[in-house]
Amino acid sequence: MHFLDAVKAYKAGALRGALTSAWVALAYDLIAKYRELSAMGDAAATAFLQSWDNATAAGDVAKLLQLEAGILEDATANTQVVNRIARTHLERLREDRHRCAHPAFSAEADLFEPSPELVRLHLVNTVDLVLSQEPLQGKAIFDLYDVDVQSPGFPTAYERILDYVEQRYLARVRAQNVRNFGTVLAKSLLKGVPAQWEPLHRKIIPSLVTVRDRAPQAWPDIFAAIVRLIEISNRRTGLAPLHSSLLFRISGLSFKRRHGQPCRRLSTTPSPPPSPTIASLLVSPSRNSAQRC
Q: What is the 3-state secondary structure (H, E, C) of the chain?
A: CHHHHHHHHHHCCCHHHHHHHHHHHHHHHHHHHHHHHHHCCCHHHHHHHHHHHHHHHHCCHHHHHHHHHCHHHHHHHCCCCCCHHHHHHHHHHHHHHHHHHCHHHCCCCCCCCCCHHHHHHHHHHHHHHHHCCCCCECCHHHHHHHHHHHCCCCCCCHHHHHHHHHHHHHCCECHHHHHHHHHHHHHHHHHCCCHHHHHHHHHHHHHHHHHHHHCHHHHHHHHHHHHHHHHHHHHHHCCCCCCCHHHHHHHCCEEECCCCCCEEECCCCCCCCCCCCCHHHHCCHHHHHHHCC
Spatial distance between the Cα atoms of 17 and 114, rounded to a whole number of angstroms: 10
Q: Do 122 and 209 have their domain in common?
A: no
> Do 70 and 147 fall into the same domain?
no
Q: Identify the domain boundary among 110, 131, 152.
A: 131
Residues 198 and 215 in one domain: yes
Which of 120-124, 253-257, 264-268 shows the lowest per-residue confidence on average (mean pLDDT)?
253-257
Q: Which of 131, 157, 183 is the last residue of a domain?
A: 131
Look up the pTM and report it: 0.60
Q: How confident is the model at residue 177 (pLDDT cuts 50, 70, 90)?
A: confident
User: Residue 97 sits in which domain range?
Assistant: 2-131
Is residue 100 located within the same domain as residue 164? Answer: no
Higher pLDDT, 190 or 251: 190
pLDDT on residue 104: 61
Tell me, yes or no, whether 162 and 287 share the same domain.
yes
| The pLDDT of residue 246 | 40
The number of beta carbons lying within 10 Å of the beta carbon of residue 35 is: 15
30 plus 56 within the same structural domain: yes
Task: Give the pairing of strands 254-256 and 263-265.
Answer: antiparallel
Domain count, the chain: 2
Residues 6+ apart with CB under 8 A from 186: 208, 222, 225, 226, 229, 278
Give the model's confidence band at 141: pLDDT under 50 very low, under 70 low, under 90 confident, else very high.
confident
Please check whether residues 61 and 166 belong to one and the same domain: no
Instruction: Please indicate, yes or no, whether residues 11 and 125 belong to a single structural domain of this protein.
Output: yes
Q: Which of 131, 149, 171 is the last residue of a domain?
A: 131
Same domain, 100 and 150: no
Do 95 and 160 share a domain, yes or no?
no
Per-residue confidence (pLDDT) for residue 105, from 0 to 100: 58
The answer to whether residues 33 and 111 belong to one domain is yes
> In sequence order, which residues have a C-beta less than 8 Å from that of residue 194 and are 6 or more positions away?
146, 188
Q: Based on the domain organization, do 118 and 160 belong to the same domain?
A: no
For residue 160, give the nearest of 207, 128, 195, 196 by alpha carbon: 207
